Amino acid sequence: MDVQTIILSHARDGAALRERFFAASWSDLARAARVTAERLTRGGTVYLCGNGGSAADAQHIAGEFVNRFLCDRPALPALALTTDTSVLTAIGNDTSFDQVFSRQLEAFAKKDDILFAISTSGTSKNVLRALATAEERNLFTICLTGEGGTALDGKVDVLLAVPSRHTPLIQEVHLACEHLFCQLVDYFLFENVAALYEPLPGTR
């Protein structure tokens, strides 16, 4: 296979996957953003977690919320649970790496908070434990994953599972989904507040 074929095949496969995912999941993404916006109006905070590239995504989203995305607006409370090295290494060393996110939720999570969890495989033990802790504390839970994470269906409030097992393409769709999530939260909070109280298209 030559270089041009590699590049164009990747581009075609990625475009097809992205279109298939959003066609099937747009209403779930819209619901995730709207409920997040509602909870932010009640004083909630968005907590984010993931490993490796997904940890970088968690920090990326937090930055978009605290600073700005596309429009100038007030800062929004969001915190990536991947950034405090002292906390992460203390928990990992003294207890278990499986608890590096859940332990932080035990410390900080409160009513009306949101957990946005990212796991390409859908099997990351520390992410699964964080989701379980979030459920115990009645947080609104959103999980971005791939085809391997469909076992989480019914265990989180919104499951956004990209129908692929090819990690690079899953993560590329995740980034598009994350950007749209940020844009939609801003839409509900600052561009069309009335939409917070209207039925979403395609739902009852």
| Count of helices and strands (H, E) across the chain | 6, 5
Rounded Cα–Cα distance for residues 153 and 199 (Å): 23
For every one of its 204 residues, what pLDDT tens digit does the chain have, with 9 covering 90 and above? 899 999 999 999 999 999 999 999 999 999 999 999 999 999 999 999 999 999 999 999 999 999 999 999 999 999 999 999 999 999 999 999 999 999 999 999 999 999 999 999 999 999 999 999 999 999 999 999 999 988 888 899 999 999 999 999 999 999 999 999 999 999 999 998 888 888 776 554
Q: Is 141 helix (H, G, I), strand (E, B) or coil?
A: strand
Say what the pLDDT of residue 204 is. Answer: 42
Q: Is residue 53 part of a domain?
A: yes
Residues 6+ apart with CB under 8 A from 24: 163
Stated length of the chain:
204
Q: Is residue 61 part of a domain?
A: yes
CATH code of 52's domain: 3.40.50.10490
Q: What is the pTM of this model?
A: 0.95
Sign of CA dihedral 137, 141, 143, 148: positive
Q: Is residue 140 part of a domain?
A: yes
Say what the pLDDT of residue 44 is. Answer: 98
Say what the pLDDT of residue 203 is. Answer: 54
Token reading at 69: 């995305």
Backbone angles phi, psi at 8, to 5 degrees: -70, -35
Look up the domain containing 21 and give its range.
3-197
Structural domain total, the chain = 1
Rounded Cα–Cα distance for residues 97 and 75 (Å): 31
Q: Is residue 203 part of a domain?
A: no
Say what the pLDDT of residue 88 is. Answer: 98
Rounded Cα–Cα distance for residues 152 and 28 (Å): 14
